[in-house]
C-alpha cells in the first residue's frame, strides 16, 4: 500500500525474546506484537514494549477483533486498542479475516468464514466501523483454513479482495497461510497471488507449518519451508518491496536464528527486485 | 435447503467445535455445510478446530496454574479443564482472563482436595498482580522527612499490584512444593504483590499484619494502624507498628505517604 512505509524484514516479538529487548541485542528492522498481550493495566510486558519501540518500529497485530463475527464489535476491546495505539504509535494495526466469538464466548482461534456476498458486506461494514473508530486504515490478514463451506460462492482471494475494496482497508498477505490453504483445499497459490490487488498489500507474513494426516496445519513452529520461500519469491515479483515479517510462535529458536529467517527474506526480496530491474 | 445465514453457520460451528474432547458433537447440519471427499473427511477437518480449541485453552490454563497442574497431575488437570471450559468459557477478547473462575470451579468439584482450590486462588492472584497497574514505591527515606508530631495522622496508599487472600489451607506452602502432600487445614492470610523489578511475590501474614494491611489499603491513619497493637504497651505498639511499616516499605508495597485526608 502506498500509504504504508517499507519497514524491511521484521520478526514477531514473543516473551522468550524479552531478555534481548532488555539488553538491547534484539536487533531487527521492526517488531510485530500481538495486541491482546498488551491490553493490560501495567507490568513487565508494557515496559518491554516501551523498550522494544526504542529499538525498532512496532506494529500491532490483533487476534480477537472478531471482524467476521456476528456479535456486535466489542467497544471495550476497541477502547483498549485505541489506548495501545495512542501509547505506542504503531506503524500500523492489523487483524485477521475470520471470526472467533459468538454469544459473548471466545474461541481464541481464527475460524473460517463462508465466502459469500453476505459475508463480504458484513465484514466490510465492520472494518469500516473499526477504521472510523480508530481513525486509521487497518490491514486484514488471510488465515489458514482446514474447511471450506459448500455455500461459498467465490474463491478466497476474490472474497479477500472484495472486502478490502469495499472496506477500503489494507491486506496483510500471509504467504504461509496461502500455501497451507492451497494444499488443504486444492487451489493454485499462484492464482491466489494474481487475484489480490497489489496496491492494497501492505505487509507480508512468513511462517512454518506442520502436517497432520493429509492436512497442513498453521503451527508457526518450524522454519519457513522451501515451498513457502518459493511462493514468497513469487509474491515479491508481483507486489514488489513490501514489509515482511517472520512469525514463530512455538518451539521458538534463538533470536539469531529468527533474525536469520528475516534476513533470508531480505535476500530473496533483493534478488527478485534486482532481477526485475534488469529484465528487458 | 435454504442457505443458512452467517450467524447460523457460526452457531453450528461453535456448537460443534467448543466441546469436551473426545465427544463427537459435530452437528450433521455443519457436516453438510463443509466440503470434503466424504463425511469422514469433513469431520476430520472440523475436528482440527475442536482439537485446537481444547488444546490451546488447556495450555493457557497450564501456564497460569503450573502448581495446581503439578499437584493434580497433568492427566487429571486436563479432565478438570474439559469441565471448566464447558462451565466457564472465555468471555473476554484476551485469553489472559480465562482462568478467572478455576478456583471456584475446583471448589465445586467432588473428589478434588479442597486445598487445591486455595492454591488455584493464590496462582490466580499472582496472574492478576503480574499485570496490575504500575506505581512508584515510597522508600524509607520518604519517612525520614516526616516530623514526629505528624506520624499519627499519616496515611498511606498501597501500590495497585497487591492483593490479600484468606484461605483455609497454607496455600503458600503448597505453592513451594512440586509434589502432592497432606496438608492440614489452617486458616492462612497471604499478601501477593509485585515488586518494582516486576517480580511477583507472596508471603503469609500473621494476625496483626492481616488486620493492619486492610487498614492501610483503605486509607486509615497510622494511628489507626497502631490500634492493631492496642493490647501492647504504648511504646511496644509504636515500635511494632513502625517495624511493620518498614517491612512494607522494604517490600515495595507502599506507593505514597501523605498527611491528613
Flag whether pLDDT at B181 surpasses 70.
no
When comparing pLDDT for B142 and B103, which is higher? B103
How far is it, in rounded angstroms, from Cα B151 to Cα B38? 80
pLDDT digits (tens, 9 = 90+) for B57-107: 999 999 999 999 999 988 999 999 999 999 999 999 999 999 999 999 999
- On the question of pLDDT at B238 being above 90, the answer is no
Is the domain of B150 the same as that of B246?
yes
Give the C-alpha separation, B137 to B188, whole Å.
26
B96 touching chain A per CB within 8 A: yes
- CATH code, domain carrying A90: 3.20.20.150
Domain that holds residue A223: 9-278
Are A147 and B90 inside 8 Å of each other by CB?
A: no
Q: Tell whether A179 is covered by a domain.
A: yes
Query: Has residue A188 been placed in a domain?
Result: yes
Chain B positions touching A216 (Cβ under 8 A) are: none
Q: Which residues of chain B are within 8 Å of residue A70 when distances are taken between CB atoms? A: 6-7, 10
ipTM value > 0.85: yes
What is the percentage of chain A residues whose pLDDT exceeds 90? 96
Summary mean pLDDT of chain B: 93
Q: Looking at residue B131, what is its pLDDT?
A: 96
CATH of residue B251's domain is 3.90.930.50
Cβ neighbours of A101 in B, within 8 Å: 93
Distance from CA of A84 to the nearest CA of B (A): 14
* DSSP H or E segment with residue B257: strand B254-258
Q: Are residues B45 and B99 in the same domain?
A: yes
Q: Is residue A175 part of a domain?
A: yes
* B249 and B146 within one domain: yes
Domain carrying residue B19: 6-112
Is residue B146 included in any domain, yes or no?
A: yes
- DSSP, res B261: -
Q: Is residue A37 part of a domain?
A: yes
CA distance B141 to chain A (A): 25
Task: Provide the pLDDT for residue B24.
Answer: 75
Which helix (H) or strand (E) covers residue B87, if one does?
Answer: helix B74-87
CB contact under 8 A, A47 and B6: no
Q: How many contacts (CB atoms, under 8 Å) link A and B?
A: 127
Distances (CA, A) of A78 to A81, A92, B55, B99: 5, 15, 28, 23
Residues B98 and B152 in one domain: no
Closest partner residue to B10 (CB to CB) among A43, A70, A147 is A70
Q: Do A39 and B93 touch (CB under 8 A)?
A: yes
pLDDT, one tens digit per residue, over A8-54 is 999 999 999 999 999 999 999 999 999 999 999 999 999 999 999 99
Residues B195 and B98 in one domain: no
Q: Which residue of B has its CA nearest to A35?
A: B94
Q: Chain B interface, mutation test: which of A103, A149, A184, A218, most B Cβ atoms within 10 Å? A: A149
B133 min Cα distance to partner chain A (Å): 4
Q: What is the pLDDT of residue B261?
A: 45
Residue A46: closest C-alpha in chain B: B131
pLDDT at B148: 87
B13-18: long-range pairs with CB below 8 Å, 24+: B13/A111, B13/B49, B14/A102, B14/A103, B14/A105, B14/A107, B16/B46, B16/B50, B17/A107, B17/A111, B17/B46, B17/B49, B17/B50, B17/B53, B18/A105, B18/A107, B18/B50, B18/B53, B18/B85, B18/B89
Q: In chain A, what residues touch B57 (CB-CB under 8 Å)?
A: 108
CB A201 within 8 A of CB A169: no
Q: Are residues B46 and B84 in the same domain?
A: yes
Q: How many CA atoms lie within 13 A of B5 on its CB side?
A: 6
Q: Strand, helix or coil at A151?
A: coil
Q: State the total domains in chain A.
A: 1
Final residue of a structural domain among B97, B112, B127: B112
A184, closest residue in chain B (CA to CA): B45
DSSP run (H or E) holding B45: helix B39-64
What is residue A149's DSSP assignment?
A: B
Best interface-test mutation with A: which of B2, B35, B93 has the largest number of A CBs within 10 A? B93
Residue A2 lies in a domain: no
B255 contacts chain A (CB < 8 A) = no
B17 falls within a domain: yes
Residue B253 falls within a domain, yes or no? yes
Q: Which of A74, A118, A150 sits opposite B34 (nearest CB)?
A: A150
- Determine, yes or no, domain membership for A1: no
Among partner residues B10, B53, B93, which is closest to A102 by beta-carbon distance?
A: B10
**Is B119 within the bounds of a domain?**
no
Between CA B39 and CA B50 the distance in angstroms is 16
* Residue B242 placed within a domain: yes
Report yes or no on B250 lying in a domain.
Answer: yes
- In the listed set B62, B95, B112, which residue is the last one of a domain according to the structure? B112
**B38 and B146 inside one domain:** no
B52 at interface of A, judged by CB pairs closer than 8 A: yes
B94 and B146 part of one domain: no
- Domain membership of residue B134 (yes or no) is no
Name the 3-class secondary structure at A126.
helix
Residue A201 pairs in a beta bridge with A171
Does B207 lie in the same domain as B106? Answer: no
Determine, yes or no, domain membership for A105.
Answer: yes
The model carries a pTM of: 0.94
How many structural domains are present in chain B? 2
Contact B132 A44 (CB under 8 A): no
Same domain, B224 and B146: yes
Residue of A nearest to B96 (CA): A37
Mean pLDDT of A230-247: 97
In a domain, A94, yes or no: yes
> Do B144 and B103 fall within a single domain?
no
Amino acid at each position: 500500500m502506498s500509504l504504508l512505509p517499507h519497514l524491511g524484514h521484521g520478526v514477531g516479538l514473543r516473551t522468550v525474546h524479552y531478555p534481548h529487548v532488555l539488553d538491547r541485542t534484539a536487533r531487527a528492522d521492526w517488531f510485530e506484537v500481538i495486541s491482546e498481550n498488551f491490553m493490560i493495566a501495567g507490568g513487565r510486558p508494557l515496559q518491554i514494549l516501551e523498550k522494544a519501540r526504542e529499538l525498532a518500529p512496532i506494529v500491532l497485530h490483533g487476534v480477537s477483533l472478531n471482524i467476521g463475527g456476528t456479535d456486535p464489535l466489542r467497544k471495550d476491546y476497541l477502547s483498549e486498542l485505541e489506548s495501545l495505539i495512542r501509547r505506542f504509535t504503531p506503524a500500523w494495526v492489523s487483524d485477521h479475516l475470520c471470526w472467533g466469538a459468538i454469544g459473548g464466548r471466545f474461541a481464541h482461534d481464527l475460524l473460517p468464514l463462508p465466502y459469500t456476498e453476505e459475508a463480504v458486506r458484513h465484514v466490510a461494514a465492520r472494518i469500516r466501523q473499526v477504521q472510523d473508530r480508530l481513525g486509521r486504515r487497518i490491514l486484514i490478514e488471510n488465515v489458514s483454513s482446514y474447511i471450506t463451506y459448500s455455500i461459498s460462492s467465490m474463491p478466497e482471494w476474490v472474497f479477500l479482495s472484495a472486502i478490502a475494496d469495499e472496506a477500503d482497508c489494507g491486506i496483510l498477505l500471509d504467504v504461509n497461510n496461502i500455501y497451507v490453504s492451497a494444499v488443504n483445499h486444492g487451489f493454485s497459490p499462484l492464482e491466489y497471488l494474481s487475484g489480490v490487488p497489489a496496491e492494497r498489500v501492505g505487509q507480508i507474513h512468513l511462517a512454518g507449518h506442520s502436517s497432520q494426516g493429509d492436512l497442513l496445519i498453521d503451527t508457526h513452529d518450524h522454519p519457513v519451508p522451501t515451498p513457502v520461500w518459493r511462493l514468497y519469491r513469487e509474491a515479491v515479483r508481483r507486489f514488489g518491496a513490501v514489509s515482511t515479517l517472520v512469525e514463530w510462535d512455538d518451539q521458538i529458536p534463538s533470536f539469531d536464528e529468527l533474525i536469520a529467517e528475516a534476513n533470508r527474506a531480505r535476500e530473496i526480496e533483493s534478488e527478485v527486485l534486482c532481477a526485475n530491474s534488469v529484465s528487458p | 435447503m435454504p442457505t443458512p445465514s452467517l450467524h447460523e453457520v457460526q452457531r453450528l460451528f461453535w456448537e460443534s467445535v467448543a466441546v469436551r474432547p473426545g465427544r463427537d458433537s459435530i452437528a450433521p447440519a455443519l457436516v453438510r455445510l463443509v466440503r470434503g471427499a466424504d463425511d469422514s473427511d469433513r469431520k476430520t477437518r472440523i475436528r482440527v478446530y475442536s482439537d485446537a480449541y481444547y488444546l490451546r485453552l488447556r495450555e493457557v490454563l497450564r501456564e497460569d496454574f503450573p502448581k495446581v497442574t503439578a499437584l493434580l497431575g497433568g492427566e487429571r488437570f486436563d479432565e478438570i479443564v474439559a469441565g471448566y471450559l464447558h462451565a466457564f468459557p472465555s468471555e473476554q477478547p484476551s485469553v489472559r482472563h480465562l482462568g478467572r473462575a478455576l478456583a471456584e470451579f475446583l471448589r465445586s468439584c467432588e473428589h478434588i482436595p479442597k486445598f487445591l482450590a486455595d492454591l488455584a486462588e493464590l496462582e490466580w492472584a499472582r496472574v492478576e498482580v503480574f499485570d496490575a497497574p504500575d506505581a512508584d514505591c515510597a522508600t524509607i527515606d520518604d519517612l525520614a522527612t516526616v516530623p514526629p508530631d505528624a506520624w499519627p495522622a499519616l496515611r498511606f496508599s498501597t501500590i495497585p499490584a497487591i492483593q490479600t487472600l484468606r484461605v483455609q489451607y497454607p496455600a503458600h506452602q503448597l505453592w513451594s512444593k512440586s509434589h502432592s502432600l497432606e496438608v492440614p487445614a489452617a486458616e492462612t492470610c497471604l499478601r501477593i504483590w509485585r515488586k518494582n523489578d516486576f517480580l511477583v511475590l507472596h508471603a503469609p501474614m500473621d494476625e496483626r499484619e492481616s488486620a493492619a494491611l486492610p487498614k492501610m489499603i483503605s486509607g486509615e491513619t497510622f494511628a489507626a494502624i497502631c490500634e492493631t497493637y492496642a493490647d501492647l504497651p504504648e511504646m511496644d505498639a509504636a515500635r511494632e507498628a513502625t517495624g511493620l511499616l518498614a517491612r512494607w516499605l522494604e517490600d515495595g508495597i507502599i506507593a505514597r505517604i501523605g498527611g491528613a485526608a
